[in-house]
Homo-oligomer: A and B are copies of this chain.
Amino acid sequence: MSLADDSAKQATGTLYKTIRQDIERRILTGEWPPGHRIPFEHEIMEHYGCSRMTVNKALSELAQADLIERRRRAGTFVRRPQFLSAVLKIPDIRAEIGALGRAYGYELISSTRRTANAADRERLGVKTPCKVIAIRCRHSADNLPFAIEDRLIDLDAVPDAAKANFKVDPPGSWLLHHVPWTEAEHAISAIVADEAIADGLDIAIGAPCLVIERHTWRQNQPLTAVRLVYPGEQHRLVARFRGSE
């Protein structure tokens, strides 16, 4: 019975985690480069003196994390290093500002309910006529402008939104806590402030701004489209992430 007489004997507590981390380390250090076939399950199983299910659990998790690729009959292979595959957390703005330890402020600028016009339908990505709410509001941190939000909500998809009080609750927070989503898309770009934005964010015309446009769906049904404009020099979107765990 050959125990894991291996190098790094990290006392993780459980066997399958030890196996997973042993393999992960070999991949990350380059000892097993991309394309390398890692040992068969029965080999690993003999090496650690455990059952196949235990090895399988370790490998399944690595496969789920896209570190390895498993092919029936062929074996298990180290995947190409992932193109930077970042986990970018963009929380609800109220929570974001709260997390920074700053005082959150919210101001509804305008809110209108209407039958979607062509531009609205284009923006939401719906083809059939529907009712929408169009909201414009401003978020601030410690009384300084933080972002201008411009949002469209599909009332047919989110009928409850008609009952929400957006004078008090920011629409993003309300939606996050009331409407489950299944898909979302972000687009990040840069613009310079025109007069309306400069005025709203209290910056100079021509100052750089970061723009996030986000579309959210539930089961392919558009829910909402939002455009957030941040002062570009003061605000940075930061994403920190690991290859796996």
| Residues of A that sit less than 8 Å from B by CB | 27-30, 61, 64, 81, 83-92, 95, 176-177, 179-192, 206-210, 214, 218-219, 230, 232-233, 235-243
User: Measured between C-beta atoms, what is the minimum distance from A38 to chain B in Å?
Assistant: 15
Residues in B with CB closer than 8 Å to A84 are: 89-91, 184, 186, 214
Which residue of the partner chain B has the closest CB to A86? Answer: B88
- Is there an interface contact between B232 and A183, defined as CB atoms closer than 8 Å? no
Known: A83-B90, A189-B236, A190-B191. 4 other contacts (CB 8 A): A189-B210, A192-B208, A208-B232, A210-B210
Chain B residues in 8 Å Cβ range of A90? 83-84, 86
* A239: B residues at CB distance < 8 A: 88, 185-188
Cα separation A53 to B187 with both chains bound (whole Å)? 41
Q: Is the CB of B185 within 8 A of A188?
A: no
Cβ contact of A190, chosen from B176, B179, B233, B241, cutoff 8 A: B233
A186's closest neighbor in chain B, by CB?
A: B239
- Return A22 CB to nearest CB of chain B, in Å: 15
| Closest-CB distance, A72 to chain B (whole angstroms) | 14
